[in-house]
Amino acid sequence: MVTDAVPMLRYLTSPAAAEILKILNAATANAEHNDLQSREDLKIVRITADKATWIRRFRPKARGRVGAFDRPTSNITIEVDEVRD
């Protein structure tokens, strides 16, 4: 249930937990506004983290040269649905 997951994520010290909490709050707000679902009845159906584009960055090296490195990014998706009792 979403109401159980929010307090757990809020008190975790991991930076990833803070990002997942933001995404979960956005998903529940969308479900409440767009689909007129109740927040207390929402359940997390699926969470996925997929590869996204790579950001190309450069770091200075010796003798005025530059070293390239890639910084990977990801897309996190959370799907919520109403519990049918």
Buried b (16+ CB within 10 A) or exposed e, 2-12: beebeeebeee
Q: What is the pLDDT of residues 40-61, one digit of tens each?
A: 889 999 999 999 999 999 999 9
Domains of the chain: 2-82 (3.90.470.10)
Determine the Cα–Cα distance for residues 59 and 70; give it in Å rounded to an integer: 11
Predicted TM-score (pTM) of the model is 0.76
Strand partners, 17: none
pLDDT number for residue 85: 64
